[in-house]
Amino acid sequence: MPSHPGSILNTGANGINIAFDSFASTDVRKDVRLRGLSIQGSDSGIIGIRIFGSTNTAKSVVVIDQCLVDGMFGGAARGISDERGNGGELYISDTTVRNIGTTGIFISPLAGAGAGSTIDASIDNVRAQNGNYGLWASNNARVMVSRSIFSGSTTGGIYAKSSLAASQVNVGTSVTSNNGTGIINAGGVNTLIVISNTEIAFNATQFSGVTQSFGNSRIVGSGALGPLPTTIGSVSSDFGQH
């Protein structure tokens, strides 16, 4: 990862606020791109990058590339928080989120949002380290995770819950290790976690709740297994892969 040419010190505050309801109604693109930033909360930062809005977020896009978010322990204590109540797209790549009081990456449309308010997120080559949760997805979040590492979280590396609307997290070619629990499905309305070609290792408990697998992931190291994933497709050498 290259050095970060821009730095933000956000003691006692949010580092960056992306407030889509403040965008002009005539702004048809609604794109925000952050690249090469180091956002330092110095143990009192509240949220490193907060994305929100309830009425003007449809078709909005946020791209976070080659950034570092570190040291958020005040208030909500999140690294990246996407709370758009009317949905949108989120792309995070080549980024590290570490030393976070609650959740490294939080993706959940606002409570009470309509059924069409999906946040579609892609997380690629991302590290979420040393928080309470590495990734939290709920209430119309659809998240694709690839080539990423979730480690050192006291409660869970990857967590999904849907009290209001269905959510899905697909995890491929990634690692969740040294967490309280590696992967947690906390239930609710059609919460789905699917893993493939992923390492679940050295967690105190590997799984909690229902998960699905293509049968090519690896569960290693000490710790309780928890409920093992259900294989997708008929039992064969490929387990339903296409």
Report the pLDDT value the prediction gives residue 12, as an integer from 0 to 100: 97
Q: How far apart are CA 88 and CA 4, in angstroms?
A: 27
Confidence of residue 165 (pLDDT cuts 50, 70, 90): confident
Q: Which long-range contacts (CB under 8 A, 24 or more apart) does 233-240 make?
A: 239/213, 239/214, 239/215, 240/214
Distance from chain centroid for Cα 117: 17
Q: Is the pLDDT of residue 2 over 70?
A: no
Task: Spell out a b/e string for 105-138, using b for 16 or more CB atoms within 10 Å of the CB, else e.
Answer: bbbbbbeebeeebbbbbbbbbbbbbbbbbbbbbb
Q: Residue 151 — φ and ψ, nearest 5°? A: -145, 150
The token pair at 222 is 């000490």
Of residues 144 and 28, the one with the higher pLDDT is 144
Is the distance from CB of 161 to CB of 141 less than 8 angstroms? no
Question: At 219, which amino acid appears?
Answer: I
Q: Residue 72 — φ and ψ, nearest 5°? A: -100, 105
pLDDT tens column, 4-63: 679 999 999 999 999 999 998 888 889 999 999 999 999 999 999 999 998 888 889 999
Q: Is the pLDDT of residue 163 over 90?
A: no
Report the pLDDT value the prediction gives residue 132, as an integer from 0 to 100: 98
Is the distance from CB of 72 to CB of 42 less than 8 angstroms? no
Q: Which domains are present in the chain?
A: 6-176 (2.160.20)
Give the position of tokens 């996407």: 82
Report the pLDDT value the prediction gives residue 189, as an integer from 0 to 100: 79
Q: How far apart are CA 14 and CA 2, in angstroms?
A: 24
